[in-house]
Amino acid sequence: LTHRYFKKFQYCGYAPHVRSCKPNTDGISSLENLLASIIQRVFVWVVSAITCFGNIFVICMRPYIRSENRLHAISIMSLCCADCLMGIYLFVIGAFDLKYRGEYNKHAQLWMDSIHCQLVGSLAILSTEVSVLLLTYLTLEKYICIVYPFRCLKPRKCRTISILVLIWVIGFAIAFIPLSNKELFRNYYGTNGVCFPLHSEQSESSGSQIYSVAIFLGVNLAAFIIIVFSYGSMFYNVHQTAITATEIRKHIKKEMILAKRFFFIVFTDALCWIPIFIFKLLSLLQVEIPGTITSWVVIFILPINSALNPLLYTLTTRPFKEMIHQVWYNYRQKRSKRGKSSQKKYSPSFIWVEMWPVHEIPPKVVKPVLCTDSSDASVTTQSTRLN
Q: Report the mean per-residue pLDDT for the chain.
A: 76
For residues 298-324, give the mean pLDDT: 74
Q: Which stretch of 50-54, 60-64, 129-133 has the lowest confidence by average pLDDT?
A: 60-64
Task: Say what the pTM is.
Answer: 0.76
Q: Which of 10-14, 223-227, 288-292 has the highest mean pLDDT?
A: 223-227
Say which range, 61-65, 76-80, 130-134, has the weakest mean pLDDT: 61-65
Residue 254: is its pLDDT beyond 90?
no
Q: Which of 100-109, 110-119, 252-261 has the highest mean pLDDT?
A: 110-119
Q: Indicate the domain borders of the chain.
A: 35-326
Predicted pLDDT of residue 288: 72
Is the Cβ–Cβ distance between 337 and 348 less than 8 Å? no
**How many other β-carbons are positioned within 10 Å of the β-carbon of residue 305?**
24
The pLDDT of residue 171: 94
**Which residue did the predictor score with more confidence, 270 or 85?**
85
Residue range 222-236: mean pLDDT, rounded: 84
Of 3.90.180.10, 1.20.1070.10, 3.90.1300.10, 3.20.20.370, which CATH number belongs to 35-326?
1.20.1070.10
What sign does the dihedral 202-208-214-217 (CA atoms) show? negative
pLDDT digits (tens, 9 = 90+) for 20-47: 878 777 778 888 888 888 888 898 999 9
Rg for the chain, CA atoms, rounded: 27
Lowest mean pLDDT among 205-214, 286-295, 360-369: 360-369
Average pLDDT over residues 108-119: 90
Q: 299: how many CB neighbours lie within 10 A of its CB?
A: 25
148: left (phi over 0), alpha (psi -120 to 50) or beta: beta
